[in-house]
Structure 1
Amino acid sequence: MTPSRFLIALAMLITSGFCRPIVAEPDAAESNAVLGRWEVDRVWAGHPVRFFLLTAGDRQFVSYYDADRVLTVASRDLNSREWIKRKLDSRVGWDSHNGIVMARDMTGRLHLAANMHVRPLVYFRTSRPDDITSFEPIHRMVGQDEQRCTYPVFISRPDGTLVFYYRDGASGRGRQLFNVYDAQSQTWRRLLSEPLWDGREEMSAYPSGPILGPDGWWHVCWMWRDTSDCATNHTLCYARSRDLENWETVSGQPVRLPITPETGSVVVDPTPSRSGMINVCHRVGFDHQKRAILSYHKYDADGKSQIFAARWENGQWMIRQVSNWDYRWEFGGGGSIVTEITAGPMRPADSGRLQQEFQHARYGSGVWILEEETLAVLELQPPKPLLPAALAKVESEFPEMQVRTVSDGGKAARGRFILRWETLPANRDRPRDPPYPPPSRLEVILLGSNG
């Protein structure tokens, strides 16, 4: 199957607990000329774990696990090919959940969290702006509920304030806690006095977002899961917020925190457990009118795997089936699994239409062009490649190796940077028997227009 932009952009397949597809910016595929390539290091290739790329001003930062699986940060001036490197005191095992996230606060200090799957908080911060040699182990934010951390995420508010959230607990019995950072005092406090989601030790929420929409609201959708078995996902839900603190339903009703499985006002689709919902492609997208559209995966009436879309219309959630595939993806169990079906968020296209990218293990990859009001598929277009063909091709001669990419967490003045490396596929977080592939080349690549 020819790799598509979306297929390649799925750098991590982390489905036992959480999988957020890593997708390029909406217009990323408009030009794929290689404007520059910079080798960063050689990295562990025995299993996939999410790395991080951050471009800020005239500097660039990469965080990764090196050939010895040691958490490492590299930085360079954008006008230089020389990387400064700093190894941190953390080493990844075989768990593909243990990805890396990084952020830069309004004073220029760098924050990094990584290597956690129901483990104590692993958190480093620089003492000097943009200086990775000043990274220090902090491993504490507010000092409470930081012993069972998973899925760290940094969010920057429009004013530059840094927010951090993570799951406290485990799959099937967790809650999400939000912290906010005071850059002047260099201290964290709880943004919310209660968890945003609390499964009450009976289930866990698996969110997609929050993301800042074109309407100025933060949007998030999630599904609940009963156990570590990924087949027990159920009940798609949605909420929004102006400030990440006060939350409401799509109709504007305030939502009392914490949100629990009993909070009925946020339910979009009450599909029960083992009905084909899985936390790999539930996404919030938008149409030309800036209305939120939720995309997700479940079985249809015949038990086939399909992509569905939900939008609030005339006082109710209207749910429509988008795909029409004659295939059932039968998934289950724990650990990081190989994803067979994914879809990106719906977004505006030309001529008042919408578009949505997808990839399917049997039917390949492509882009649907949809009628905006009915969400009916009008046209199927070929996939838009994230990488030029030469870079999309696996370079390693070791069997089963795959290309991994991560889009820039910052913004380049010209073109777009991506991070590229190669690994074996996910292995349900279990150790592999040797031999292992040789370390692969980690590169930063600048793509754009030669014009």
Structure 2
Amino acid sequence: MLRLLTPLALLCAVPAAAQKLEAVDRVWAGNEVPFALVVTMDRIYVGYYDAARQLSVASRPLKSSWWTFTKLPGWVGWDSHNRIAMAVDAAGQLHVAANMHNDPLVYFRTTGAGDVRTLTRVPAMVEPAAERSMTYPTFLKDAGGRLIFKYRDGGSGRGREIYNVLDGAGWKRLTDAPLVDGEGKRSAYFVGPVPGPDGWFHLSWVWRDTPDAATNHDLSYARSPDLLHWERSDGTPLPLPIRLRDAEIVDPVRSHGGMINNNTPIGFDAPSRPVIAFHKFDSAGDTQIFVARREDRRWRVTQASDWKGFRWDFGGNGSLDFRLRIAAPVVDGKTLRVPVIRDGKPIDLLLDGDTLARVGERPGTKLADRLSARIGVPAGMQLNTVEDASGVAIAWATLPANRDLPREDVPEASVLRLVLP
């Protein structure tokens, strides 16, 4: 099953008091940069930037606390886009891609299964000409278990989404054409593909005209049985690459309408219909959470929050300090629950599972809050987490994103901790 990990862990079934904390290393704390966690049947792998900002990978067996470390040739600056992506393929080899924001390929692969000390840099995957300006590296697996690597080729406002597939010892294009092409006028920012209970992959995205985050518009959707053939929700085939004029528009949110990339997660209701959560300005100019659900022959858009006087008026270039983060809608009894973090406070928005009528909201919970009582977080810093479906997680404190700009001071390194259920 395809699985994407995010640096935001909104839910955790294990109480913090029942979890074991284990120090891994001292790490860079000057700004938030997503680290990586991979858990297999017998090993744990962690990708991070150490106290000297160097790209590092640590690994240990599940049943032992003996870590193996390796340092790779790569150092992060102040850019919060330069996340780390990792995955283990069917042969047990570890793949690491990192430190790319409109940069040439930075990719490593082990030559000895399970041994991070054998990570070796691979200068090219498929086509060097399309690997000179890469952003948002992501590993995932298709329904057959094949390892897929996707990334954006080109800068914000002029990018293409490209998919590669691991074929034996090398990589090849998954599709002849890119998945999406902004035609040099815009970029698409994706959440997913997400595997649904229906066996299909579901994808949501927004279009963005310039590097200015305020220029996101037109929430879009596509689905696929195999990551090769894509279609609209009504079964109409979508030729590749998907362009704005052909895309299925879920909600035609205008540019500067209060919608931002990466905040369009896909969940599923009790009958397995896709539900997309996102935010935009309401008629009064306040920022509100909305959900869109595919019903019969159309997408139904419903307001999920009812906040007065709250407006997140973001814009400009560089990594933002997100005032809102949204997780995928989930079934919770007879309700549909949308977990949200607003200004650092977790909130659960509740909707009637049948009608999508707003039921109300209640205080939510997140792993970082439950761990904060045991992990000292310096003033002005935040506790970042990445959680695996197994319940294993990592946690580390940093200053928030700073629009990718240097700070006047360099903070002390923080401790990266492994969190075990």
| TM-score where L is the length of structure 2 | 0.95
Aligned ranges for residues 316-395 of structure 1 at < 5 Å? 316-326=298-308, 327-350=310-333, 352-361=334-343, 364-387=345-368, 389-391=370-372, 395=376
| TM-score where L is the length of structure 1 | 0.89
Gapped runs of 5+ residues in structure 1? 1-19
When residues 81 and 124 of structure 1 are mapped into structure 2, their CA distance, relative to the original with a 3 A threshold, is: same
Q: Give the number of aligned pairs.
A: 415
Question: 1:373 offset after TM fit, Å?
Answer: 2.3
Partner of 2:249: 267
Question: 1:30 offset after TM fit, Å?
Answer: 5.0
Instruction: Answer yes or no: is 1:309 the counterpart of 2:291.
Output: yes
- Alignment match of 2:223 (pick from 220, 224, 240): 240
Aligned-partner Cα distance in 2 for 1:25–1:368: 13
Contact 1:394 1:401 in 2 (8 A): no
Amino acid at match of 1:293: V
Q: Relative contact order (alpha carbons < 8 A, sep ≥ 6): 1 or 2 greater?
A: 1
Post-superposition Cα deviations, 1:264-293, rounded to whole Å, max 9, x if no partner, equal 4x1111121111111142111110000001
Aligned-partner Cα distance in 2 for 1:406–1:373: 32
Partner of 2:49: 65
Partner of 2:191: 208
CA-atom RMSD in angstroms: 1.7
- Alignment match of 1:438 (pick from 403, 412, 418): 412
Aligned-partner Cα distance in 2 for 1:429–1:75: 29
Aligned-partner Cα distance in 2 for 1:132–1:347: 36
Amino acid at match of 1:34: A
Post-superposition Cα deviations, 1:338-365, rounded to whole Å, max 9, x if no partner, equal 1112222111111x32111112229x43
Instruction: Determine helix, strand or coil for the equivalent of 2:214.
Output: helix
Instruction: Answer yes or no: is 1:405 the counterpart of 2:385.
Output: yes
Aligned-partner Cα distance in 2 for 1:385–1:224: 29
Post-superposition Cα deviations, 1:394-418, rounded to whole Å, max 9, x if no partner, equal 6244x4111111112xx54xxx111
Question: 1:95 offset after TM fit, Å?
Answer: 0.5
Aligned-partner Cα distance in 2 for 1:115–1:190: 22
Contact 1:393 1:403 in 2 (8 A): no
Aligned-partner Cα distance in 2 for 1:127–1:192: 27
Contact 1:21 1:280 in 2 (8 A): no
Which 10-residue stretch deviates more, 292-301 or 112-121?
Answer: 292-301
Question: 1:388 offset after TM fit, Å?
Answer: 6.4
Instruction: Determine helix, strand or coil for the equivalent of 1:367.
Output: strand
Aligned ranges for residues 129-208 of structure 1 at < 5 Å? 129-144=113-128, 145-182=130-167, 185-208=168-191
Instruction: Determine helix, strand or coil for the equivalent of 1:243.
Output: coil
Contact 2:109 2:119 in 1 (8 A): yes
Amino acid at match of 1:177: I
Amino acid at match of 2:165: V
Question: 1:21 offset after TM fit, Å?
Answer: 5.2
When residues 194 and 276 of structure 1 are mapped into structure 2, their CA distance, relative to the original with a 3 A threshold, is: same
